[in-house]
Structure 1
Amino acid sequence: MLILLWLLCVPIVITDLVARRIPNAWLLSVAGMAVIWIGWQAWHGEPRALWVHGVGGLLGLIALLPFWWRNVMAAGDVKLFALIGLVAGYSALLPVWCLASVAAGVHALVLLTARVKWLSRWRDALGACAAWQRILQWRAGRVGLPYGAYLAAAALVVR
């Protein structure tokens, strides 16, 4: 299951940090592999796997769904957290959530600090960089914190 977690999380960290996107196709493909693996494990004498991973997926969905309903979080973040619960099991959800929230809080503080007037020279230099302009094109106007990237990175740290 660790391989599935790496297959899920590494690309998500990259795409969410750079483009602020979590591709549904990627989530569905990893979810399909996870369901097959959990079913195979249950078939071969480990019925507890259905409980641990199934409850993990359900709790992951339920925990972040209210944030999506309130338009505080993107749907991709909610689906990713549910999938992390499915792949890693319910015991990983609380540590992943706490670690990701701390990382997102630090990111928010860095963004707020960057608004300080004496840092405007650095901000302007970054804005003129061609690589930064390319990243902004990939984002296509999407703004916000890459919470999915922090969830994925935290899942890799926890497991």
Structure 2
Amino acid sequence: MLILLWLLCVPIVLTDLVARRIPNFWLLCVGAPALLWLGWQAWLSGPQVLWVHGLGALLGLLVLLPFWWRGVMAAGDVKLFAVIGLMAGYPALLPVWCLASVAAGVHALVLLIGRSQAMTRWRERWAASRVWQRILQWRAGRAGLPYGAYLAAAALVVR
């Protein structure tokens, strides 16, 4: 299961940081084998595995769903947290959520500092660079903090 978690989280860290996207295809490609593995584990050791991981998926979905309803979080972040709960189980959700929230808070603080008057020259150089222009093309107008990237990175740290 740890391999599946790495296969999911590493690409999501990169795509969410750069393009602000969490592809549903990746969530399905990792979630489906995780379900099969959990079914196999339940067959071998009993239904407790299903409770731990099934409750993790349900809690992961329900905890972040209100943020999506309020429009402060993208649906991909919510689905990712549910898949992390499915793979890691409910005991991992609180530490993952706390770590991701601290990382997102640091990101927001860096953005605020970057908007200060003292950073104007650096900001203008960066905005004119080809790298930044390419990143803006990949984002296609999507803005906001890459919370999914921080959820994925925190899941790797916790597990």
Q: TM-score, normalization: structure 2?
A: 0.98
Q: Tell me, in whole angstroms, the C-alpha distance in 2 between the residues paired with 1:125 and 1:117.
A: 14
Corresponding residue for 2:141? 141
Corresponding residue for 1:97? 97
Write the deviation string for residues 21-79 of structure 1: whole angstroms up to 9, x where unpaired: 00001101111011000001111124211011000000000100000010010000000
Corresponding residue for 1:127? 127
Corresponding residue for 1:156? 156
Gaps of 5+ in 2: none
Quick check: 59-68 or 45-54, which moved more? 45-54
Specify the SS of the correspondent of 2:4. Answer: helix
Q: Size of the alignment, in residue pairs?
A: 159
- AA paired with 1:47? P
Aligned positions of 1:45-56 closer than 5 A:
45-56=45-56
- AA paired with 2:141? G
Aligned positions of 1:5-154 closer than 5 A:
5-154=5-154
- AA paired with 1:61? L
- AA paired with 1:83? V
Deviation of 1:126 (Å): 0.6
Specify the SS of the correspondent of 2:45. Answer: coil
- AA paired with 1:14? L
Gaps of 5+ in 1: none
- What is the percentage of aligned positions where both structures have the same residue? 77
- AA paired with 2:73? M
Specify the SS of the correspondent of 1:18. Answer: helix
- AA paired with 1:44? L
- AA paired with 1:85? G
Specify the SS of the correspondent of 2:13. Answer: helix
Deviation of 1:8 (Å): 1.0
Specify the SS of the correspondent of 1:22. Answer: coil
